[in-house]
Amino acid sequence: MYSKVTWIGGLKILEDIKRNLEERRELARRGGGEKRIAAQHAKGKLTARERIDLLLDDDSFEEFDMFVKHRSTEFGMQNDRPSGDGVVTGWGTIHGRQIYVFSQDFTVFGGSLSETHAQKICKIMDMAIRNKAPIIGINDSGGARIQEGVASLAGYAEVFQRNVLASGVVPQISLIMGPCAGGAVYSPAMTDFIFMVKDTSYMFVTGPEVVKTVTNEIVSAEELGGATTHTTKSSVADCAYENDMVTIAETRRFMNFLPANNRSKSPILPFHDDINRVEVGLDTLIPDNPNTPYDMKELILKLGDDGDFFEIQENFAKNILIGFIRLEGRTIGVVANQPLVLAGCLDIDSSKKAARFVRFCDAFEVPILTLVDVPGFLPGTGQEHNGVIKHGAKLLFAYGEATVPKVTLITRKAYGGAYDVMASKHLRGDFNYAWPTAEIAVMGSKGAVEILYKSDQKDPEKTLKQIAEYEEKFTNPFIAAERGFIDDIIVPRNSRRRIARAFTSLRGKDLKNPWKKHDNIPL
Amino acid sequence: MFKKILIANRGEIACRIIKTAKKLGIKTVAVYSDADLNSLHVEMADEAINIGPALVSASYLSIEKIICAAQESGAEAIHPGYGFLSENPKFPIALEKAGLIFIGPPVEAIKSMGDKITSKELAKKAGVSIVPGHMGLIKTVEEAVEVSMKIGYPVMIKASAGGGGKGMRVAWNDNEVKEGFYASKNEASNSFGDDRLFIEKYIVKPRHIEIQILGDSHNNLVHLGERECSIQRRNQKVIEEAPSTFIDKKTRKKMGEQACKLAKAVGYTSAGTVEFIVDKDKNFYFLEMNTRLQVEHPVTELITGIDLVEEMIKVAQGKKISFTQDDIKLNGWAIESRLYAEDPYRNFLPSIGRLTRYRPPNELTLPELVVRNDTGVTEGGEISIFYDPMIAKLCTWAKSRPEAIKLMQDSLDNFEIEGVGHNLPFLSAVMGHPRFLSGDITTAFIEEEYQEGFVGVRLEKKDLRLLCSAIASIHIFKEIRKSNISGRVNDKVEAVVDDWHVFVQGVQSRVKVVKSENDVLVQYADIETQKVNFKWSPGDVLVKFTINGEKYSLKVNNIIDGYRVRFRGADLKVQVKTSRQVQMSLVMLEKKEADTSKSLLCPMPGLVTSIDVSEGDEFEQGQTLCTIEAMKMENMLKAEKKGVVKTILARVNQSISVDQLIMEFE
């Protein structure tokens, strides 16, 4: 058996073992076999390995546990023990930066999660937490491996526990590239960002069949939990893309914005964009009529390096914009009211959307830029009865606890409680700037005058005079600046330079909250 | 010399007049409406006076307010520009009463030339050849049909007070006469407050060629050659050039002489234009005379070296023209492209909005080349619903027509406009069109060459390869940059792959891309190697590059899954992939675009003026479904194919926005 010996570089390799190893590797690489791979391809989906191949830099993937097999003996499972057990795990690099990755293989038992499958995922999650590198999970699984019963459920819970522990330590990103149903959804749900593929992925706790049986509601998988549903209605997912390739390409782009962990600062991309770039057009961004909307996205694009803005949750709660830009090559998280939608007001959805983003930035040392044009909170029973008080408080809380550099620019309206919420000076804003068009007040002039001069309501002439008086007093940033709530009033065209300099000056910021086990954010 | 003049206009023409005034050392006063507070002409002028709300009738058309502004500022004279009050005889009369000088022709000339019927009679008397037609106003539809049949189809229905294509319709049969009659009447009454119409023969293969004239009060009258204005869309000029490829010396002389004859007959002074229609045998007929500075005057200035505004100002002060007919030499070739805020892909419907980006090419004055851009906007400015949607007039001049066209192509490639829909790609397309290059054009050029509407340009192999090399170079630049991001596991930067596949316009090219110190070598499978040198950094939209020594420019935007590239009128998606990505993309499925043919969406912001069908109605392809008024133009939205109306969501007099649902079909 051990007769033939060759020498390579001073190392003794036994030919037979070598051959055996190659065969085993080859077998593992084949996954569920040609037929199932073809079926996967026919759906427009890539295989688990192809996805990793595209996601990571060429030849950078180091695989773990290729030879792991399940240990189930029920229902004839002992006769079918493919290597790898339906998930490919390991580490590699994206543009040279370390990433841990697991990718479920739908061609092997429908990517179902067994005890050993879960162990493989847990192993790389543990390593990621220890070695402080992000985790990307690619989900394409039919769910729990029924044959294994509670062992499979235990496996899920082990993964969940690690998601919780990793949260706030290393970024966790989930790519949903096939089914993700039942308990399985809670792992991605606890990660930082979820990207989905349109038409070929879905997430739900209970599928269309169960829904039909229980509630008589007839709904398709796509409508119940497809990429469009989750990026427009439920906000479960952050981004949706056309197909596997685009999703992976955008994930690579996205990872360039994220720090490796909660101790390291964001990566620096070599930058060429002039930090003193003057944007003349910004001087006229704010329309003459205070009730005319404008596109806040234009400001974001003109502030950031290269006009590069990675927007998150683009199609949900569009009255607030969130995403990443770079200044001097460094990542900045942006939160901005969008006057184009619902006048840019805060409501339940926008507060939740922004709050979670602010907390991500704070957890991972990403400085936050807040662009404010907010007329207040959206009124109405729909909001009040659904708890806008607690949801709005989430954003307030998130800003208040954040210790990362915070720069705020008020472009136009900053009314009422919403002014306080949007990273005001009082919530430890480091730099609070305003454009000359800023209006910082408890409310708009008309509403204010109605309350201030209730008895004069019948006299329109008087009311107009009072409105003018109020406007002169409050529809400018000077009162706030006199009190030091606004650090400076800046010319719109110079915003990029001023904001970039502000962040530059804050690179050494060191601020700590009082010791606590953890806070009690109004969830 | 005047000390101070007021410009009773806005936009590019106000800016252009201010420039000459500055050159002559005359102080300038701009007037502006509320909507124009931040306009360029306000910024450029020495003084600016607000003359009221955005609505033109309350500001730029208000004689009273303008005279007030002139008196307040102490201006001695007023230049009206074009449009607005420039051809309103009441304006110079009022100015004279107020003791102000009108920089333009005498009132009588404006009056007699302002009416299309009177002007024609005068022209006939002066011995100018005119188009066969019906001398007289058309009162009823029946009369319109009768007269049209008498003249013989096709005919042209025109507003008596018309200009600029407004209130004009061509009709090829009785039905179109009926439709056109009402449409013209409406437009005429909306635009000019005068709904009188007349009808004349429509010449089928016509060219629109006009003669610039200039006169003074000392009986001097010269003509400055012709302008070829045949590239028109819906009778609106788009591209003009001087001279015309079609006009020989003899014809030019004849046309010039007739133009001067007519001018003399009405005692004309100042700058004016006599428009002719020219048939394929070089017969020319008088169309009308414009008693003002024309939009397209720069092309004449470029080939004659004469500043028409300067001459107008001098003539207004009673000075003599400083040159004679013999002094005028036509030199080189000039082209003008009018940039409009209109969407060429949506049948040139007007577009409004904020110019989020506006970077014209650098103006240039060299002995061999001139690039001139007359504009009234700046980045961050607004193209509003209230005024003309012209963004700029880009002019080039060179020794020969091909050189001037090439310079125009390059300049258009260097022009950046974002935020509103614009016709830049269309202008580029025409500049590259073989028929335009040959000079064989008529006023029907656009209609004939773009029968299905404008769908963008398909690049020829050579241009495609240039684009491919440029994008491959950019791509490798970006890849190298990304591989230099901080926080890498290894300090050593991995070499970037050199084997790439570029996909554009259905063509896949495999290239080897190698970056050296100063340039990038792009090697194709057929052994051709292009050496690319470019000045670009990520975030720049404009890429200026040199390939094998030749200079080009294109515009590039990052989009998901590739690049959007605009070059020579083409608007393309370009993808750059590794071999591995190419192989895997074979697995991806083609996705169908959502079906939008079941509904009628509003293609532009405007006001619903009529809804021409009811719910449950069957309609034919081409039938008018509803009419939207935008930019004072009536736009009939016609059915793309036959169908049945299911629901109507818009109401008459409702103002609606782009892509708003008007009606749904079964």
| pLDDT tens digits along B77-89 | 999 999 999 999 9
At residue B165, the pLDDT reads 66
A-chain residues near B576 (CB < 8 A): none
B-chain residues near A54 (CB < 8 A): 580-581, 584
Best mutation target among A95, A198, A283 (most B Cβ atoms within 10 Å) is A95
- Scanning the structure block, which residue is given the tokens 């450029």? B44
* Fold of the B461-585 domain: Glycoprotein, Type 4 Pilin (3.30.700)
| pLDDT tens digits along A374-432 | 999 998 898 999 999 999 999 999 999 999 999 999 999 999 999 999 999 999 999 99
Minimal CA separation from B630 to chain A, in Å: 20
User: How would CATH label the architecture of B332-456?
Assistant: 2-Layer Sandwich (3.30)
Model confidence at B262, in pLDDT bands (50, 70, 90)? very high
CB contact under 8 A, B560 and A246: yes
Are the C-beta atoms of A441 and A447 separated by less than 8 Å?
A: no
Of A489-498, B175-184, B548-557, least confident by mean pLDDT is B175-184
**Predicted confidence (pLDDT) at residue B164 exceeds the cutoff of 70:** no
- B538/A contact by beta carbon, under 8 A: yes
| pLDDT tens digits along B31-68 | 999 999 989 999 999 999 999 999 999 999 999 999 99
Minimal CA separation from B419 to chain A, in Å: 10
CB contact under 8 A, B485 and A268: yes
Q: What percent of chain A is modeled with pLDDT above 70?
A: 98
Residue of B643 and A110 predicted with greater confidence: A110
Complex-level ipTM:
0.91
At residue A6, the pLDDT reads 61
Of A18-32, A299-313, B385-399, least confident by mean pLDDT is A18-32
Of A271-275, A518-522, B272-276, B615-619, least confident by mean pLDDT is B615-619
Model confidence at A49, in pLDDT bands (50, 70, 90)? very high
Return the H-helix or E-strand segment holding A323. Answer: strand A320-327
Residue of A nearest to B539 (CA): A306
The answer to pTM > 0.80 is yes
A-chain residues near B560 (CB < 8 A): 241-242, 246, 250
* Both tokens assigned to A193: 């960002």
User: Mean pLDDT across the stretch A493-511?
Assistant: 97
Closest Cβ–Cβ partner in A269, A288, A307 for B485: A269
Say whether A64 sits in a helix, a strand or coil. Answer: strand
At residue B283, the pLDDT reads 87
**Predicted confidence (pLDDT) at residue B562 exceeds the cutoff of 80:** yes
Minimal CA separation from A17 to chain B, in Å: 31
A-chain residues near B356 (CB < 8 A): 281, 298
Best mutation target among A262, A294, A306, A366 (most B Cβ atoms within 10 Å) is A306
Q: For chain B, first and last CA: distance in Å?
A: 70
Of A323-327, B397-401, B518-522, least confident by mean pLDDT is B518-522
**Predicted confidence (pLDDT) at residue A175 exceeds the cutoff of 80:** yes
**Predicted confidence (pLDDT) at residue B135 exceeds the cutoff of 80:** no
Residues B152-185 as b or e (16 or more Cβ within 10 Å = b): eebbbbbbbbbbeebbbbbbeeeebbbbbbebbb
Q: What percent of chain B is modeled with pLDDT above 90?
A: 66
Amino acid at B639: A
**Predicted confidence (pLDDT) at residue A323 exceeds the cutoff of 50:** yes
Closest Cβ–Cβ partner in B481, B487, B584 for A270: B481
CB contact under 8 A, A54 and B581: yes
* Both tokens assigned to A174: 């989930």
- CA dist B76 and B424 (Å) reads 39
Closest Cβ–Cβ partner in B379, B482, B488 for A280: B379
Model confidence at A4, in pLDDT bands (50, 70, 90)? low
- B526/A contact by beta carbon, under 8 A: no
Of A471-475, A490-494, B329-333, B334-338, least confident by mean pLDDT is A471-475
CB contact under 8 A, A54 and B589: no
C-alpha pair distances (Å), B96 with each of A499, B84, B91, B214, B217: 56, 18, 9, 22, 16
* Both tokens assigned to A483: 């009190």
| pLDDT tens digits along A116-131 | 999 999 999 999 999 9
DSSP secondary structure of B449-510: HTTT----PPPPHHHHHHHHHHHHHHHHHHHHHHTT-SS-SSSSPPPPP-EEEEEETTEEEE
CATH 3.40.50.20 fits B4-103, yes or no: yes
Catalytic, B228? Answer no
Q: Determine the CATH number of domain B599-665.
A: 2.40.50.100
* Both tokens assigned to A57: 């830099």
Q: What is the sign of the dihedral through the CA atoms of A335, A341, A344 and A348?
A: negative
CB contact under 8 A, B381 and A284: yes
Closest Cβ–Cβ partner in A44, A243, A272 for B538: A272
- B495/A contact by beta carbon, under 8 A: no
| pLDDT tens digits along B312-343 | 999 999 999 989 999 999 999 999 999 999 98
From the list B87, B200, B240, B288, the catalytic residue is B288
Q: For chain A, first and last CA: distance in Å?
A: 64
User: Mean pLDDT across the stretch B604-609?
Assistant: 79
- CA dist B227 and B302 (Å) reads 11
CB contact under 8 A, B584 and A243: no
Residues linked to residue B390 through DSSP beta bridges, in sequence order: B340
- CA dist A415 and A376 (Å) reads 5
- B38/A contact by beta carbon, under 8 A: yes
| pLDDT tens digits along A448-465 | 888 888 777 778 888 888
**Predicted confidence (pLDDT) at residue A7 exceeds the cutoff of 70:** no
CB contact under 8 A, A44 and B581: no
Model confidence at B630, in pLDDT bands (50, 70, 90)? low
Residue of A nearest to B580 (CA): A54
User: Mean pLDDT across the stretch A328-355?
Assistant: 95
Q: Average per-residue pLDDT in chain A?
A: 93
**Predicted confidence (pLDDT) at residue B3 exceeds the cutoff of 50:** yes
Residues B279-300 as b or e (16 or more Cβ within 10 Å = b): eeeeebbbbbbbbbbbbbbbbb
CB pairs under 8 A between A and B: 118
Q: Which residues of A are catalytic?
A: 182-183, 417-418
Closest Cβ–Cβ partner in A243, A269, A273 for B588: A243
Say whether B246 sits in a helix, a strand or coil. Answer: coil
| pLDDT tens digits along A96-153 | 999 999 999 999 999 999 999 999 999 999 999 999 999 999 999 999 998 898 999 9
- B506/A contact by beta carbon, under 8 A: no
At residue B369, the pLDDT reads 96
* Both tokens assigned to B153: 């189809």
At residue B72, the pLDDT reads 95
CB contact under 8 A, B539 and A308: yes
Residue of B78 and A9 predicted with greater confidence: B78
At residue A293, the pLDDT reads 87
At residue B31, the pLDDT reads 97
CATH class as words, domain B132-201: alpha beta
- Per domain, the residue ranges of chain B are 4-103, 105-131+210-235+243-326, 132-201, 332-456, 461-585, 599-665
Are the C-beta atoms of A304 and A339 separated by less than 8 Å?
A: no
C-alpha pair distances (Å), B651 with each of A214, B177, B386, B620, B646: 44, 27, 22, 22, 15
Query: B residues 606-635 near A, CB within 8 Å?
Result: none
Q: What percent of chain B is modeled with pLDDT above 70?
A: 98
At residue A1, the pLDDT reads 42
**Closest C-alpha among A364, A357, A318 to residue A335:** A357
- CA dist B587 and B598 (Å) reads 31
* Both tokens assigned to A83: 């290597």
Helix axes B249-265, B116-125, angle to 10 degrees: 110
- B355/A contact by beta carbon, under 8 A: yes
Q: Determine the CATH number of domain B105-131+210-235+243-326.
A: 3.30.470.20
Residue of B nearest to A304 (CA): B539
At residue B632, the pLDDT reads 56
Q: What is the sign of the dihedral through the CA atoms of A299, A301, A306 and A311?
A: positive
**Cβ contacts of residue B528 below 8 Å, gap of 6+?**
B465
**Predicted confidence (pLDDT) at residue B443 exceeds the cutoff of 70:** yes
Residue of B nearest to A198 (CA): B591
Say whether B223 sits in a helix, a strand or coil. Answer: strand
Two domains, one topology: B332-456 and B599-665: no
Are the C-beta atoms of A395 and A355 separated by less than 8 Å?
A: yes
User: Mean pLDDT across the stretch B548-575?
Assistant: 94
CB contact under 8 A, A41 and B587: yes
At residue B249, the pLDDT reads 94
Best mutation target among A258, A284, A314 (most B Cβ atoms within 10 Å) is A284
